[in-house]
Amino acid sequence: MPLPLLIALILAQAPATIAPSERAIVVTGHAWAPFISPMGEPFRAHSVTDNTLANWFAQADSNRDGALTMLEMRADAERFFVTLDTGGDGAVDPDELIHYEWEIAPDVQIMSKTRRPAGAAPPPPEDSGGRKDRERDDNQDFAGQGAARYSLLNMPQPVAAADINFDRSITAAEFRAAAGDRFLLLDRGHTGRLTLPELELQLAAAQGASHKRNKRKHEPDTRLGNPLPSGG
């Protein structure tokens, strides 16, 4: 077979190069709900026995004394800020916020599906008074929005909420200040210390409030934090 014909035959059988714009979009799925820390960091379960709130607490409790102080919470925020500031310029800009919402914590997206915590049983069927019972799942499971579904505070986007001067850029100083403010919101007893048992109670109460609001959508959410504008 002539060489030019052989080369043409090989090229015809070779797979065509796929342009970047035509490549499939691969989305990483997560089986269970994360715990999203007060500063927006997701902690994901790898088994049904993982306690994601406890994992964050153990990381933030740098001296391992069983209590978080404001200094420890600020230090933990500074550590996470380095992850958010991918450009290393000391500020989280709009592109880095997009990276956070799509790559680090896609769970904060308003339209993302709500997941149950690892090991949690499905909710009981509704008493529909004659209507067919159904299991509330995905988006219907909680009434909170964004990160508020998985967090201690009612903040749909906790990273963006740290933009104190609304200039669409979060500096390290703003993020650190926000950590202090959020510590005060969680320190309901004004003791200067947060323990894991009290935070577990706060998380259970926050998620319980979301479940109740699922049936009373027009009532205000009484959890502390910065909710989305009502538009009213």
pLDDT of residue 141: 42
Q: What is the mean pLDDT of residues 96-107?
A: 93
Contact 72, 61 (CB under 8 A): yes
Residue 114 has pLDDT above 50, yes or no: yes
Q: Cα torsion for 126, 127, 131, 137, to the nearest 10°?
A: 0
What is the bridge-based pairing of β-strands 170-171 and 42-43?
A: unpaired
User: Which has the minimum average pLDDT: 118-127, 153-162, 202-211?
Assistant: 118-127
- Considering only CA atoms, which of 182, 169, 163, 180 is closest in space to residue 85? 169
Contact 40, 80 (CB under 8 A): yes
Contact 88, 4 (CB under 8 A): no
- Considering only CA atoms, which of 82, 123, 87, 86 is closest in space to residue 103? 86
Angle, CA 33 vertex, CA 25 and CA 40 arms, to 5°: 85
More confidently predicted of 61 and 33 = 61
**Quick one: pLDDT band at residue 131, thresholds 50, 70, 90?**
very low
Location of structure tokens 């088994």: 47
Residue 215 has pLDDT above 50, yes or no: no
Angle, CA 101 vertex, CA 96 and CA 104 arms, to 5°: 85
Contact 66, 199 (CB under 8 A): no
More confidently predicted of 231 and 68 = 68
Q: What is the mean pLDDT of residues 140-156?
A: 80
Helix 70-84 vs helix 52-60: crossing angle, to nearest 10: 100
pLDDT of residue 155: 93
Q: What is the mean pLDDT of residues 43-57?
A: 92
Tens of pLDDT along 176-202? 999 999 999 999 999 999 999 999 999
State which amino acid sits at residue 125.
P
Tell me the range of 99-113, 176-190, 194-208, 211-225 where mean pLDDT is highest. 176-190
- Please return the burial class of 223, using the count of CB atoms within 10 Å of its CB with bins 0-12, 13-18 and 19+: buried
More confidently predicted of 225 and 55 = 55
Q: What is the mean pLDDT of residues 6-12?
A: 54
Report the percentage of the chain scoring pLDDT > 70: 61
User: What pTM, to 2 d.p., does this model score?
Assistant: 0.68
Location of structure tokens 């600020």: 74
Q: What is the mean pLDDT of residues 138-160?
A: 79
Contact 85, 99 (CB under 8 A): no
Give the helix/strand (H/E) hosting 43.
strand 42-43
Task: Collapse the DSSP code of 172 into the 3-class scheme (helix H, G, I; strand E, B; otherwise coil) and give the result.
Answer: helix
Please tell me the distance from the alpha carbon of residue 61 to that of residue 194, in angstroms, as a whole number: 10
